[in-house]
Chains A and B, each alone.
Chain A
Amino acid sequence: MNTVTTIYLDYAASTPVDPRVADVMIECLRPSGAQGNPSSAGHEYGRRARGMVEKARAQVAAAIGARPDCIVWTSGATESDNLAIFGVARFNADRGRHLVSSKTEHKAVLDPLKQLEREGFEVTWLKPAADGIVRPEQVRAALRPDTQLVSLMHVNNEIGVVQDIAAVGAICRERGVPFHVDAAQSAGKLPLNVETMNVDLMSLTAHKIYGPKGVGALYVRRKPPLGLQPLIYGGGQEHGLRSGTLATHQIVGMGLAFEIAEREREQDVERICALRDQLWAGIASIGDVELNGHPRDCVAGLLNISFRGIEGESLQFALRELAVSAGAACSSASEEASYVLRALGRSDQLAQSSLRFSLGRFTTAEQIETAIAAVKREVTRLRSFSPQAANAEKKS
């Protein structure tokens, strides 16, 4: 297959870099850009690089309603999640070893928490309802005097459902428990404000918001200060929370990506929602499909659909003219049915036959029409020789 003609519908896995972002990054790499080390305050080259890093810090902070000095640069959301979870848990281990999260978090949250369980911490795993949403009262009921952290993603990466972060945050504030939010999938799609959402730690990444891969940030509340043990030790950059020379061109790209995303968010979201509705209407008309997740509390541009009577790998291969994900991209090498869909109560067959379509800034109506036609054609074809047993079982 000629990859040039493949229609990209996998924005939730990673977005293309916006050409405006690429331009400032390339400029940054030129001799006139930022060749100095941002920590070298003693000369012009270093101060110039530092200026660019601080401008980007202000851009990212503005997009989430934070003070710039609360932004810690990292290599991406996975590192941010690790720093938040290990950082808080280990810093406060003497005061308590209980944590709260949900079963449908990203692996970058699940795996650090599982590691902490092996180290003697106790995790309460909340089970979302069939629509994917964790009710704030579930969080309240799970809190204990020794709870040190609640971690909940804003938007689920597989099904796009939106959690009521502000309500959960209010409960955590009331009980004095730090609250971490993985916002990798919501930045640029939903309004973010760490103050009104009562968030103490927020993980962000650039490559899902038309910035470069390999750079992210962790928002860390400063007032009152939040105890956090670093993961990486070295030069003491980022207030000692994340040592290592700052990746200036990456950071500059992330800064502009966040500024553009926030400035253009409303028009982007309106357009992308209309395209998503167009795609869903076209696919739903085939029949025997199920939308996974909440029909309304869902982020713009993401559709997770199960197709009855069709095996997932065959469906994905049949639709290879579309770049879509079967389950989460990070775990698609595994044949295990999506743990997120299983947690929502889907059967193995429906979980295995799910596809995630995710649209973005550069998706066109013409591409959506082409995608609908391809899905209709291939689903009909594959079902034409699917055993009656598969079709009967699936409806039970």
Chain B
Amino acid sequence: MSETPYSPLVVEHFGHPRNVGRFAPAADVITASAGDPEQGVRFDLSARVHGDRIVAMRFEVYGCPHCIAAGSLLSERLQGATQEQLRRWSWREASDELEFPPDKRGRLLVLEDAVHALATQWQRRQ
């Protein structure tokens, strides 16, 4: 096996990303985006909410394997999350777990922006 610059967890999520796609617009669906493909990364998040919890997450991503893995991991972690948990979500959670290289951590700040924007969108809906 030749070495790759990615951790086994990144390789796993890159090859089998969870919860990809987007929900069709609906009363219980919230969406948020951050980033720009011209800058190398963009995340589109959509979530189905029920009461004070997220019941299902979907994501789309333009970015490197680390970013695809981060979107996939996030979509798993945010199942069942509350608005407050979205607001508190920090890029460090994904960075540590996926062993993000320091020079790519800025891309996780874009994901953090998308997550916080999702919380704001949710609040506006209520």
Contacts and interface: CB of A to CB of B under 8 A. Distances in A.
Interface of A: 1-3, 309-311, 313-314, 317-318, 320, 335, 347-349, 352, 384-390, 393-394
Given A311-B63, A317-B14, A390 B40 contact: no
Contact of B61 (A313, A320, A387): A387
A346 B16 CA distance: 31
Interface residues of B, number: 27
A319 to B, nearest CB: 12
B33 A389 contact: yes
Contacts of B96: none
B2 A311 contact: no
B40 A311 contact: yes
Nearest to A337: B40
Given A314-B65, A317-B4, A389 B38 contact: no
Interface of B: 1-2, 4, 6, 14, 17, 20-21, 33, 36-44, 59-65, 67-68
A3 B43 CA distance: 33
Nearest to B59: A385
Contacts of A349: 37-38
Contacts of A3: 2
Contact of A320 (B4, B42, B67, B68): B4
A202 B78 CA distance: 61
A6 to B, nearest CB: 8
B39 to A, nearest CB: 8
Contact of A348 (B14, B17, B38, B42): B38
B2 A394 contact: no
Contact of A389 (B14, B20, B37): B37
A385 B65 CA distance: 13
Contacts of B68: 314, 385
Given A314-B63, A335-B40, A390-B42, 16 more contacts: A1-B2, A3-B2, A311-B63, A313-B64, A313-B65, A314-B14, A349-B37, A385-B68, A387-B37, A387-B60, A387-B61, A388-B60, A389-B33, A389-B42, A390-B62, A394-B37
